[in-house]
A = this chain, B = another copy of it.
């Protein structure tokens, strides 16, 4: 997407003939500064994922795919070393499916190839994964915008369609376009009147920091709310549809996403409001069992909840501690929304029911990946 008139992706490579350098938009700095960060080693890539300089299901998948290019270089033809780099990339964060998916895809391309071709193969595959991610998200937009068109059609007097979203499933969370935001961007570009309620998304505020920044750059009207507010908005007729992303989805339609998603799905269900989840197929965990409760839920440092970053009155970016040091916090990063609360899944192949039947009809070619 465009940032101040220039087209960007979230991850890319530079000067590939002379150096091994991966560039990322440093998402820890947004929205206060737009900075490009250079990653020069596998350990740089691991750190950038663990410390969330890049985050979001698709974006960490693409970053890890480029990480495997650096791994191919650093392995010097040693398959054991390559696998060990792959392991460290895969374990940089535990919950998102796209991470392991991208690394395993690279591994299977490389492991039987001549090591002399590794870097070229890995670079091409990383670019392919990034392009696919962008294209899939673009098609999610095409498929999902119809839902917004229908809502707009059924509103009297060109009234605005109100969408609620949680966390950032925008283009920053992917290579481009985003998952939850792709239908929003597509509908907005076709002049459907929309307004987005953006959940702040504590503890790291990806909503108020990243989603709001994206929507502003694209000119989409939006309002940030505390995570507590969505139920009240739904209960008082102020939300027409909820669209979120997901970090891992079972083939039964159960959705692992940023902590708090489940609460919004419950509120949507209680108020008869459609709750859609947008995802490229790389987010499906074909082997995960029904209900999704076996999927690992990342626990992160309590400092992420205890501290909050922002601008001081003198314009300095700084962290403050929100309570006294003796208080303990817990920091679970994801939750599971069961399929019964999900109206549908918006994928690159179309919109389907959040059920094994719905998913496997669209993705019948993935049957062999499913655990029997």
Contacts and interface: CB of A to CB of B under 8 A. Distances in A.
A203 B322 CA distance: 12
A216 interface: yes
Contact of A326 (B216, B262, B320, B326): B216
Interface in A315-335: 318-324, 326-332, 334-335
Contact of A202 (B200, B209, B216): B200
Contacts of A50: none
Contacts of A202: 200, 202, 226-228
B330 A229 contact: yes
Interface stretch (A53-61, A73-81, A97-105, A305-313): A305-313
A178 interface: no
A336 interface: yes
B335 A320 contact: no
Interface residues of A, number: 63
A189 B186 CA distance: 59
A117 to B, nearest CB: 45
A322 B208 contact: yes
Nearest to A340: B270
Contact of A228 (B212, B235, B259): B259
A262 B269 CA distance: 13
A219 to B, nearest CB: 12
B259 A263 contact: no
B323 A312 contact: no
B329 A308 contact: no
A330 B199 CA distance: 11
A134 to B, nearest CB: 26
Contact of A311 (B258, B297, B320): B320
A95 to B, nearest CB: 12
A224 interface: yes
A305 B225 contact: yes
A31 interface: yes
A121 interface: no
Interface string A273-310: 00000000000000000000100010000000101111
A31 B224 contact: no
Interface in A239-260: 258-260
11 contacts: A197-B330, A202-B227, A202-B228, A208-B327, A212-B323, A224-B305, A225-B329, A228-B335, A229-B335, A232-B335, A312-B318
